[in-house]
Amino acid sequence: MEFGFVLAILLALGFAVTNGLHDASNAIATLVATRAARPLQAIVLAGVFNLLGPLFVGAAVADTIGGIVTVGPAEAAAVIGSGLAAAVAWNLITWRLGIPSSSGHALVGGLVGSALVAGGAGAIDWGGMDGIHPVGVIGTLIALAISPLLGAVGGLIAIRAIRRGFRRATRRWRGPVIGGEWVMSAALAFSHGANDAQKSVGIVAALLLADGRISSQAAPTWAVIACSLALTLGTTLGGWRIIRTVGRRIYRIAPVEGLASQTASSVVIFGASLVGGPTTTTQVVASSIVGIGAGRRRLHHVRWMIVRQMGLAWLITIPASAVLAMAAYAIWTAIS
């Protein structure tokens, strides 16, 4: 088995691990920030449901991601491996700095950067929308752009609905609210696993297809399980730096607000998974918290400096990871 092919597969699993470090921490950020659970409890919860998500939801997201680049068997390992190396590097840099960057953006940027160097614009499926299903780079970017907007709207709607339901709530309602947070955190982790593990699954399937090991884009069961376990490993390694940014620094949230954020985010991410829309949990959760601030008429309590810093990180992720991928591709081809 060719070394480059094996390395690319390992990088796909490595991407899933860093994705877990980054995005899975946001599935439990509000649960920890509202003190509904201790960090270890929340991490175990997220780990279990991250593992279950991709095993029970279809492969629509994997199909979308797997079709971003169109390269021949000779270039597949170098192009995809270089793109993955760039995405992993960017994820580790931003995780170390505690910046809630987008793993999805990093992956798209990495794949586009390496494919452009290898085969020009023709090596990329630019795509668009096929009804409600995203296709190629443009469709993926549309899904990544729309999901935070839906998260903000969902957060606003959820907090108003929940506040109305608990309008006369007293201290005795704290137990049911915290119980609801646990349930919706599990749902959010399940949705995250269903969406984000499938990104790595799609990449592995693209590698196997290019190498002639499978005859269609459908990934084998072992690939789904391996990517799910890698994502779960990243989750259990923890992401306290990013939990602190999303759960506490944007807007200090109460348990009811945490429940609203988890509800809105899980609905958006699960819905996107069903239609093949890649999302970023970081963006959806963070935007839902901003929407909650709007719903409570407390936008002045939102720390807009933190929101701007996150927005800047999201904007530079694609070009930065593309440049890293170009450099990685040059190194890969030089030593192979």
Average pLDDT over residues 165-186: 73
Structural domain containing residue 223: 3-335
Mean pLDDT, rounded, of the chain: 84
More confident residue, 298 or 214: 214
Predicted pLDDT of residue 109 = 95
Predicted pLDDT of residue 247 = 47
Q: How many domains does the chain have?
A: 1
Task: Assign 251 a pLDDT band (cuts: 50, 70, 90).
Answer: low
Average pLDDT over residues 262-279: 92
In this predicted structure, the answer to whether residue 44 has a pLDDT above a threshold of 90 is no
Q: Read off the pLDDT of residues 61-105 as tens digits, 9 standing for 90 and up.
A: 988 888 888 888 888 899 999 999 999 999 998 888 877 678 889
Task: Assign 19 a pLDDT band (cuts: 50, 70, 90).
Answer: confident
Average pLDDT over residues 234-257: 63
75 within 8 A of 83, measured Cβ to Cβ: no
Average pLDDT over residues 122-139: 88
d(CA 222, CA 234): 18
Hunting for tokens 């309590």 — which residue is that? 301
